[in-house]
Structure 1
Amino acid sequence: MPVLVEQDPTLVGTLGHALPTGSQVVATTERALAWLDQHPDEYAVVLGPSVELLAALGTAEDLRIKRPTVSVVLVREQFDTDVLTRAMHAGVRDVVAAGDEKAVTGAVERAHQLFQALRGPGGARQLGRVVTVFSPKGGVGKTTSSVNLALALTDRGARKVCLVDLDLAFGDVAITMQLFPTHSIEQAVGSEDSIDLAMLEGLLTRHQDSLTILAAPSHPDVRERVTPLLISRILRALRDGFDYIVVDTSPSFDDATLTALDETDECVIVATLDVPTLKNVKVALETMDMLSIARGHRHLLLNRADEQVGISVEKVESILGMPVSAQVATAVDIAAATNAGTPIVSEKPGHPASLAFTHLAASVTGEPIPAPDGTNATAAEQPRARGLFRRGRS
């Protein structure tokens, strides 16, 4: 797919019509290069009019050497022979006028043809990974954790992430992000035999922070019509278009949750420092062991982790028999950000809670994720976060 670099929302809308469905939009050339590092099968970078000419030419020079299969399309409000000459020398494939949508579409199509010629139509493709967030007890902050983890996994636009709300009776993902979806998983009911990525894209709701949502039904009675087969095929189809699919589940081993856990690559278990929750989590982990769910790919998130309650992290690890991957302390800022519809990872990326979710994301991916200060965050840097780094399913 093409990557469009443009900051002007009006131009994004105009140029977006000329690009294939599913094209990624980023604001800077730096984010475009970061995106390409994660997506080896992208075939074009479209540099919009807001990208300064020198930056555009520098990006083209860089890609000409490092990624020769990626074509650069330069879009200008106006250009002359000098611009064309400099663009050609830098390795730009096409220079087109901003108002000519057909020219943009044609340039991108030529880029795809060139990509196929250089790489072949059967080039390797890496499927996305499913991350299921689960807790056997309600009220532990599972949905808030799911939302913030998904935002952290986007790495500020470098990854495509879809957040699926599988709490089919009382899902709160959309309202937590102050989104009002026109479609939800309900519109996929009965389509088990025809589910594909193109169909699902029409049901998704985009959040401003490079995150896409598949919302839960608006009425609880719909959950009886969402079959395990439908859920399984939805998650498998989303793997084709996203790097990570984060699944928020209900606080029970219902059919939807069990199906998600069966499809999962990594599982995040959310717990709080109280005896009833830890007892339920212990039983849940034993159940997961019996069902062979996510063995070696579990990550424990301690939410509202305040030492004053009298249960230490060491005690939790001893009780549950697994290390803590990340801790999020109680903070008024988290609730305030959630109530405002701007999750803490977006509202205050430097907040301790945001850093904890970033470290959790690093534990899940097994890869460093840049922190707000530009350093690489790894799970090992989070106090007592000794998460597992193995990849792939058991």
Structure 2
Amino acid sequence: MFGLGRKKKKDMQEPGESLILWGPAAGTEHAEQEEREREKENPGMIDGIPVSPGALPGRGKIVTFHSPKGGDGVSTVAANVAALLARHAGTVLVDLNGVGAVRSRFGLPSDCPVNILDWESAEDRRHISVYEHQCGLALVPGVVHYDDLERVNPALVFRVLGILKDAYEYVVVDAPPVNGANPAWAAAVVSDRVFTVITPDRASIDMLGGTVNYLERLGCEDRSAVMLNKAGVPGGIRVADLVDKNPLGVEFKAILPYSDAVMEYNNRRQVVALARPKDPFSRAVSAFTEEVFD
């Protein structure tokens, strides 16, 4: 275990030797006490870093959608949920998921200058820069060039979400996989809900365990749920094998069926849930939105 191999029993009992796999560093108890005191003074903050939804002031709710890997339809799910919410409440969609996803979904003009980097010097809602879409949804598009991705850091994410939470009822985040390789973790730790979107393919399913474990370590376990997208896609793992047999040990918060209309309306730069509400995917995402956000 832990790379110890099969040491002989007498080797493990040499006088004066001890094997320590994990133990507190000197002064740990005092440091932990100081940390607890700081958190009492500023709830939801540790060393000045937000670690819970209550750490950011504001009346709104932050909801993050992500997946274990790319290609699971996170941008589509986030865009449809946000557009549905915008019919009844002030809603903004923030794109942390690379370059162009939100711009493409909503048909922003190629010369639209608005992007998340406009917020680098923003201090309050008077300085916010959003794009108002005709469906009533506010958009904070992602960066325009891949070279600028590194500028989207945790500090910027906290600033953007903190200001938006005070200005909108719902802040929907389209995020890349939540892990230590990108600032999506910063959105997760201050989100009221975190939804992991997976598809019925082997790679997505195999990576789910690591994703769930990482969210647990971030303290998001009680705020997290899993969604199955593209259920019934040709060549995919059968839904019955995932739901009835439940090999993953998770309860899906929503099962969104595969539909050709999703790609069709994405290519039209339209939100399928608004443009074709009777489509099976549209019905499922509408039911999910009503149940979770009613």
TM-score, structure 1 normalization: 0.56
Correspondence 1:1-394 to 2 at 5 A: 127-154=59-86, 156=87, 158-167=88-97, 169-180=98-109, 181-189=112-120, 191=121, 194-200=122-128, 203-253=129-179, 254-293=181-220, 295-306=221-232, 309-313=236-240, 315-316=242-243, 318-365=246-293, 367=294
Distance of 1:272 and 1:302 partners within structure 2: 6
Considering only aligned residues, what root-mean-square deviation do their CA atoms show, in Å? 2.0
Aligned to 1:103: none
Is the contact between residue 69 and residue 177 of structure 2 (CA under 8 Å) also seen in structure 1? yes
Indicate how the Cα distance of structure 1 residues 316 and 286 shifts in structure 2: closer, same or farther if over 3 A, else same.
Answer: farther
Shift of 1:306: 0.7
Indicate how the Cα distance of structure 1 residues 314 and 264 shifts in structure 2: closer, same or farther if over 3 A, else same.
Answer: farther
Distance of 1:244 and 1:321 partners within structure 2: 30
Indicate how the Cα distance of structure 1 residues 332 and 307 shifts in structure 2: closer, same or farther if over 3 A, else same.
Answer: closer
Distance of 2:204 and 2:190 partners within structure 1: 25
Distance of 1:186 and 1:258 partners within structure 2: 18
Residue identity over aligned pairs, in percent, reads 27
Work out which structure has the larger RCO, using CA pairs closer than 8 Å and 6 or more positions apart in sequence.
Answer: 2
More deviation, 312-321/210-219:
312-321
Indicate how the Cα distance of structure 1 residues 198 and 314 shifts in structure 2: closer, same or farther if over 3 A, else same.
Answer: farther
Count of residues paired in the alignment: 233
Indicate how the Cα distance of structure 1 residues 320 and 197 shifts in structure 2: closer, same or farther if over 3 A, else same.
Answer: farther
Q: Aligned letter for 2:256?
A: V
Aligned to 1:40: none
Distance of 1:348 and 1:315 partners within structure 2: 28
Is the contact between residue 271 and residue 277 of structure 1 (CA under 8 Å) also seen in structure 2? yes
Shift of 1:245: 0.5
Q: Aligned letter for 1:235?
A: L
TM-score, structure 2 normalization: 0.74
Distance of 2:212 and 2:66 partners within structure 1: 11
Distance of 1:126 and 1:186 partners within structure 2: 22
Shift of 1:330: 1.7
Aligned to 2:29: none
Gaps of 5+ in 1: 1-124, 368-394
Is the contact between residue 163 and residue 212 of structure 1 (CA under 8 Å) also seen in structure 2? yes
Indicate how the Cα distance of structure 1 residues 300 and 252 shifts in structure 2: closer, same or farther if over 3 A, else same.
Answer: closer
Distance of 1:223 and 1:361 partners within structure 2: 30
